[in-house]
Amino acid sequence: MTATRPHAPAGVPPTAPRLSGPLAVGLALAIVYLVWGSTYLAIKVGIETIPGLLLAAVRFTVAGVVLYAIAVRRGDRVGDRPTRAHWREAFVLGAAMLVAGNGFVTVAEERLDSGVAALLVAGVPLWMAALDRLLFGAHLLRMAVVGLAIGFVGVAVLVDPFSAAGDATIHTPSALMIVAGSAAWAYGSLRARDAVMPSRPLVSTAMQMIAAGAMFVVLSVLRGELRGFTLDQVSGASAAALVYLTVAGSLVAFSAYVWLLKNAPAPVVATYAYVNPVIAVGLGALILGEVVGPRTIVAGLVILASVALIIRARARVGSGQGVLRRLRQSAP
Domain that holds residue 97: 22-330
Provide the number of structural domains found in the chain: 1
Residue 87 lies inside a defined structural domain of this protein: yes
Residue 2 lies inside a defined structural domain of this protein: no
pLDDT of residue 19: 53
Q: What is the mean pLDDT of residues 82-96?
A: 96
Closest CA to 199 of 28, 78, 20, 18: 78
Residue 16 lies inside a defined structural domain of this protein: no
DSSP output for 119-171: HHHTTHHHHHHHHHHHHH-----HHHHHHHHHHHHHHHHHH-TT--S--TT--
| 309 — pLDDT class (breaks 50, 70, 90) | confident
Residue 27 lies inside a defined structural domain of this protein: yes
DSSP 232: G
Q: 130 Cβ partners below 8 Å, 6+ apart?
A: 148, 186
The helix, strand and coil proportions of the chain, stated in percent and rounded to the nearest 5, come to: 70, 0, 30
What pLDDT digit, counting tens, does each position of 172-211 carry?
A: 899 999 999 999 999 998 998 888 999 888 899 999 999 9
CA pair distance 303, 154, nearest whole angstrom: 5
Q: What value, to the nearest 5°, has the Cα angle with vertex 150 and ends 178 and 110?
A: 15
Residue 6 lies inside a defined structural domain of this protein: no
Q: Is 317 exposed, middle or buried (0-12, 13-18, 19+ CB in 10 A)?
A: middle
CA pair distance 177, 170, nearest whole angstrom: 12
What separation, in Å, do the N-terminal and C-terminal C-alpha atoms of the chain show?
Answer: 46
Predicted confidence (pLDDT) at residue 328 exceeds the cutoff of 50: no
What pLDDT digit, counting tens, does each position of 242-278 carry?
A: 999 999 999 999 888 888 877 888 778 888 888 999 9
Residue 199 lies inside a defined structural domain of this protein: yes
CA pair distance 193, 261, nearest whole angstrom: 14
CA distances to 32, 198, 203, 255 from 65, in Å: 22, 16, 10, 15
Closest CA to 124 of 31, 266, 1: 1
Residue 58 lies inside a defined structural domain of this protein: yes
**CA 88 and chain centroid, separation:** 21
Query: pTM value?
Result: 0.83
Residue 5 lies inside a defined structural domain of this protein: no
